[in-house]
Amino acid sequence: MKTTVIFCLLSLLSTAYVSQGQPAAARNLRIINNPPKARNLTDLVFAISPGQGTLTKSYRFYAIDVDGDAITYSGNGLPNGATIDSATGELRMQVSESDIGKTFSNISISISDGKATVSRTISISIHQPQKYYVAKAGSDSNPGTANLPWLTIKKSTGYVLPGDTVFISAGNYPERVATRSTANGSDYITYTNNADGTVEMRGFDINQDSVWIAGLSITNPGPNISGIKIDGNYPKITGNYIYNIGGNEAAGVTGYWYDRPFGAYIASNHIFKCQYGIWTYGFNWTVEHNNIDRPCQWNSNYDSDYIELMGEGHVFRYNYLHGGLSNELVSAHVDSFQTYDDANSKYWAANILIEHNFCSDFAEGFEGEATFLRRSHNIVFRNNIFFNGLPFKTGYPNGVSPIIVHDIPNVVVTNNTFYNIRYGPHWDPTTWGLATNAIIKNNIFYNQLYPYIYINGTADYNMGYQVQTSGYVLGSHDIYGVNPLFVNPSNPLGPDGIMWTADDGFQLQSGSRGRTAGENGVQVGAYGP
Ligand SMILES: [Ca+2]
Ligand SMILES: [Ca+2]
Ligand SMILES: [Ca+2]
């Protein structure tokens, strides 16, 4: 991390010097300090119900420093026994049911980057969780109770505090809801259905921490607007149906890159016919068990992809990315996973784990470019199945490639199954040459032009069938020309329709040579270790 930042700074300095011939301009770059940017330095509310006794509550203040300076956190006037971890910003305190209704005031929280300090005086209130209700038969002059519900979801945002739940009854609510940001906490503010039918609405702008959106149907948010936009930390987005959303960066779920929202949990959503499935604009997101289905190029001026990954520390696992159709993706270069950078956006991706995903109907399984900032690194693909690339252009009957890497070091590709894709994994040697330390091991390649090319790193113990090997540099323990004997590749999920079970079509038959073809005799392909 540190090395990368220094490297970027050096390259910026040398670029400034060479292109302008003015060392003074380079010196200016060095002395500018941006103070920490603190998104959630607000009053806090902790929830506890009668009968719960005493609970330990924790809440993480979260700042970013665009210069990459280390940040420290401190507090003054904290409630008795409360602490703040100077490195992580995590506040911990004991809360008792007898504290319900109390407010601890005049607490000063400071965040420093060693050169500048941002401080704010906050309060911590102790709150008994409440339930609120919204229904089509309600009225916004009601109190929001089960018997006297509100009419709009928006109305509830002025009342809810951490720990509260808003139950929304069946119906169509033609509103876009922005959560307010005056108080934060670690207890979830939950917006969910009232278990009485489909709730359809136009999505959320999440502007505070710990908001949970569950079991809603989201569509029609407006031009170039995503179904759910995350600009708060620790949101949970689960079990929603998000559909028919298009335009510039319009995704089922996205984040606000410049605040680096932290710790989003996005799981078990069905994202259907959106221009992009998910943009992970943030840090440390977990994206799992989502069904990202039939991406669609609604606006032909923009690309369309299943997942765009930006940020650090993300995990993508057990997602099903599939269903793209050539006639709905007209000029889009649809990728299962894509990351890129450019001089304006300052995007990058690092320390990413991509495992146990089923991916089909793509031009590229992964398109990773880091040629501008040269800041992306450490992306791991393991136990994924990339199969049946999307007919892309004349001459590309099965997509282009499962993995294309431009200038990203430490890309690891182990125990994946690649089936019916035009070319093999491809490390681009023509840009800055930074795509070093690649590892490509224990994979299966089936029906593609070549196994892999331009690896600067280690490639070995792979198994290939119906691939051309003549003229390519290959691992000495690779095995070619032997059928890996899949169970039934025409039915990847198998008869039970569930991913990663024993009946899956890309499991290997018991007599398969692939059962022991990997390094140290392990099974190759996605069902190996
Ligand atoms: Ca700074
Ligand atoms: Ca793309
Ligand atoms: Ca199965």
CA of 109 relative to ligand 1 center, distance in Å? 18
**pLDDT recorded at residue 348:** 95
The amino acid sitting at 82 is A
Summarised one tens digit per residue, pLDDT across range 258-291 is 999 999 999 999 999 999 999 999 999 999 999 9
CA of 350 relative to ligand 2 center, distance in Å? 18
**pLDDT recorded at residue 490:** 97
CA of 64 relative to ligand 1 center, distance in Å? 9
**pLDDT recorded at residue 29:** 54
CA–CA distances in Å: residue 1 to residues 122, 232, 381: 32, 24, 20
| Beta carbons within 8 Å of 410's beta carbon, 6+ residues apart | 377, 378, 379, 436, 437, 438
Q: Which ligand is closest in space to the CA of residue 498?
A: 3
Higher-pLDDT residue of 31 and 485 is: 485
CA of 491 relative to ligand 3 center, distance in Å? 9
CA of 65 relative to ligand 1 center, distance in Å? 5
CA of 204 relative to ligand 2 center, distance in Å? 25
**pLDDT recorded at residue 396:** 80
**pLDDT recorded at residue 183:** 86
Q: Which ligand is closest in space to the CA of residue 305?
A: 2
Is residue 108 over pLDDT 60? yes
CA of 353 relative to ligand 1 center, distance in Å? 28
CA of 30 relative to ligand 1 center, distance in Å? 11
Q: What is the C-alpha to C-alpha distance for residues 248 and 405, in angstroms, rounded to an integer?
A: 24
Summarised one tens digit per residue, pLDDT across range 372-426 is 999 999 999 999 999 999 987 777 889 999 999 999 999 999 999 999 999 999 9
Strand pairing class (72-76; 103-112): antiparallel
Summarised one tens digit per residue, pLDDT across range 302-334 is 999 999 999 999 999 999 999 999 999 999 999
Q: Which ligand is closest in space to the CA of residue 5?
A: 1
Residues with CB under 5 A from ligand 2 (ion): 303, 305, 333, 335, 338
pTM of the model: 0.92
CA of 492 relative to ligand 3 center, distance in Å? 7
Q: Which ligand is closest in space to the CA of residue 35?
A: 1
CA of 365 relative to ligand 2 center, distance in Å? 10
Q: Which ligand is closest in space to the CA of residue 400?
A: 2
CA of 457 relative to ligand 2 center, distance in Å? 26
Q: Which ligand is closest in space to the CA of residue 70?
A: 1
Stretch 206-227: mean pLDDT: 97
CA of 499 relative to ligand 3 center, distance in Å? 5
| Beta carbons within 8 Å of 498's beta carbon, 6+ residues apart | none
**pLDDT recorded at residue 21:** 36
Q: Which ligand is closest in space to the CA of residue 31?
A: 1
CA of 110 relative to ligand 1 center, distance in Å? 14
Taking Cα atoms as reference points, which of 403, 252, 406, 383 lies closest to residue 317? Answer: 383
The amino acid sitting at 242 is I
Summarised one tens digit per residue, pLDDT across range 340-355 is 998 888 899 999 999 9
CA of 67 relative to ligand 1 center, distance in Å? 5
Strand pairing class (83-84; 90-96): antiparallel
Q: How far apart are the first and last CA of the chain?
A: 29
CA of 114 relative to ligand 1 center, distance in Å? 8
Q: What is the DSSP string of 424-479?
A: --EE--SSSS---SEEEES-EEEEES-S-B--SEEEES-EEEEE--TTS---TT-E
CA of 239 relative to ligand 3 center, distance in Å? 21
Q: Which ligand is closest in space to the CA of residue 116?
A: 1
Stretch 290-300: mean pLDDT: 97
**pLDDT recorded at residue 361:** 97
**pLDDT recorded at residue 493:** 98
Q: Which ligand is closest in space to the CA of residue 36?
A: 1
Our measurement of the distance from residue 451's CA atom to the centroid of its chain's CA atoms, rounded to an integer in Å, reads 29
Task: Return the residue matching tokens 């299966």.
Answer: 444
CA dihedral 99, 102, 107, 112 (to 10 degrees): 60
pLDDT averaged over every residue in the chain: 93
- Least confident range of 13-17, 146-150, 402-406: 13-17
- Confidence bin at 237 (pLDDT 50/70/90): very high
Tokens of 60: 């993480």
CA of 461 relative to ligand 3 center, distance in Å? 26
Is residue 69 over pLDDT 60? yes
Strand pairing class (90-96; 54-60): antiparallel
CA of 220 relative to ligand 2 center, distance in Å? 23
CA of 265 relative to ligand 3 center, distance in Å? 25
Taking Cα atoms as reference points, which of 471, 472, 476 lies closest to residue 459? Answer: 476
Residue 265 burial (CB count, 10 A)? 15
Is residue 508 over pLDDT 90? yes
Is residue 18 over pLDDT 50? no
